[in-house]
Amino acid sequence: MEFKLVKGVPERLEDYREVFYNSRLYDTYFADSDRLNDQLRKAMADGDLYVAMSPEDEAVGVMYMTRDGMAGLPYLNLLSVKKKYRGKGIGTDLVKIFIGVMEREQYPSMYIMTSQFNTGAKRLYQSLGFQPKCLLHDAFRKGVSEWLFMRPNRKLA
């Protein structure tokens, strides 16, 4: 699906939140707190929130890229696609954009974490060259394990 990538702006916060609704990610981590709002606001303040906008100006995907994550490596902190647009390649395109930006900025590698229950995301990340490194128990929420995936910058190899 064709979309335009824009930087997130505070005036559209609720539109960006809606992208996460109807997902296990939202239900597991964000439904019972203001944590999503906090993360989205921080991402916008840092200039690191990117939004896929449809030709009709609807937010259809959200990506939060942190350039200074664990060990100083870039981290894809949040990624979500609005339910009615899932399966149309938007998530894949957003991850490819993340990879491209971090390769151009010459980071040696980058990482992503995904919940153990999110098998679709795990397949997507592996198809784009991310390799599972370890399973972290209770990383963000008690009782939920997270896969840590790393990908080297192939342009530096």
User: Cα–Cα distance between 100 and 68 in angstroms, integer?
Assistant: 16
- Would the CA dihedral through 47, 156, 75, 80 be positive or negative? positive
The owner of tokens 């606001």 is 41
- Predicted pLDDT of residue 155: 85
Write the burial class of residue 78 (CB in 10 Å: 0-12 exposed, 13-18 middle, 19+ buried). buried
* Length of the chain in terms of residues written: 157
**How is domain 2-150 classified at the CATH fold level?**
Aminopeptidase (3.40.630)
- Predicted pLDDT of residue 156: 84
- Predicted pLDDT of residue 153: 92
This prediction has a pTM of: 0.94
Helices and strands, counts by H and E, the chain: 5, 7
The owner of tokens 């921080």 is 42
Measure the CA angle with vertex 145, ends 139 and 148; round to 5°: 75
Please report, in tens digits, the pLDDT of each residue of the chain (157 residues total). Answer: 999 999 999 999 999 999 999 999 999 999 989 999 999 999 999 999 999 999 999 999 999 999 999 899 999 999 999 999 999 999 999 999 999 999 999 999 999 999 999 999 999 999 999 999 999 999 888 999 999 999 999 888 6
Residue ranges with strand state E in the chain: 4-7, 49-53, 59-66, 75-81, 109-115, 131-137, 145-152
Distances (CA, A) of 83 to 21, 26, 99, 122: 8, 12, 23, 18
- Predicted pLDDT of residue 157: 67
Q: How many CB atoms lie within 10 A of CB 52?
A: 25
